[in-house]
A and B are shown apart, each in its own frame.
Chain A
């Protein structure tokens, strides 16, 4: 079945450490996105990528980095510069990254990151 796989589901990190969240899709979608979800808040866009080897900052990119070396993969690194990294992280993809959302996103099941 096609979909988005995020791993791990739960992740614990010590303060000062970088950590990478995995996101893989087999939907042949061009565009991929990372969102952050905090309790009682809507999702906020961290980074997005419309095509391979290209990505752009979203609304809250500080303290995060991404890469898009393969169409299927869009890993997110939470660096030590991110002051409040404890959150639920959702990866999503769409068929294309055009300005018209003809299709909704497909979301992964998320990674819950906790800083200890």
Chain B
């Protein structure tokens, strides 16, 4: 069965530290998509990145970077020089074909607290 594991329940760092959020997934599909979403205190999930299974190139967007490794089924997310505004719950998700559409399999989330 499809599964996404975010083993880190909560992480606390001091501002300007780097932090990596881990995501490990399980799937039998050869084509799949992985996502990261940020959930700030306001509640909505904000899309951060999508990666398909054929694209193992790492990506950097400002202070954010993602490391996708199919060999270890991991899609880790690093925030460089963290800021207080990065405090949120971060979800990793795996897309799964579902009755003609798709749905997400979400991890349980990692709560990141960045302390000033």
Contact = CB atoms under 8 A, between A and B. Distances in A.
- Asked whether A and B interact, the reply is yes
Interface of A: 4, 9, 31, 33, 40-45, 48, 50, 56, 58-59, 88, 90, 92, 97-101, 103-110, 112
A104 B43 contact: no
A88 B108 CA distance: 14
A104 B107 contact: no
Given A42-B105, A90-B45, A104 B50 contact: yes
Contacts of A106: 47
Nearest to B31: A100
Contact of A109 (B37, B43, B101): B43
Given A101-B50, A104-B47, A109-B43, A43 B97 contact: no
Residue of A44, A101, A106, A108 most packed against chain B (CB within 10 A): A101
A64 B36 CA distance: 28
Nearest to A31: B101
B16 interface: no
7 closest Cβ pairs, A-B complex: A42-B106, A104-B47, A110-B43, A97-B101, A107-B45, A109-B44, A109-B43
Contacts of A90: 43-45
A44 B93 CA distance: 11
Contacts of B97: 99
Nearest to A103: B50
B50 A109 contact: no
Contact of A58 (B46, B50, B103, B109): B103
B74 to A, nearest CB: 17
Nearest to B9: A40
B62 interface: no
Nearest to A57: B99
19 contacts: A42-B91, A43-B91, A43-B106, A44-B106, A45-B103, A48-B101, A48-B103, A58-B98, A92-B45, A98-B102, A99-B101, A101-B35, A101-B102, A104-B50, A105-B104, A106-B47, A109-B42, A109-B43, A110-B43
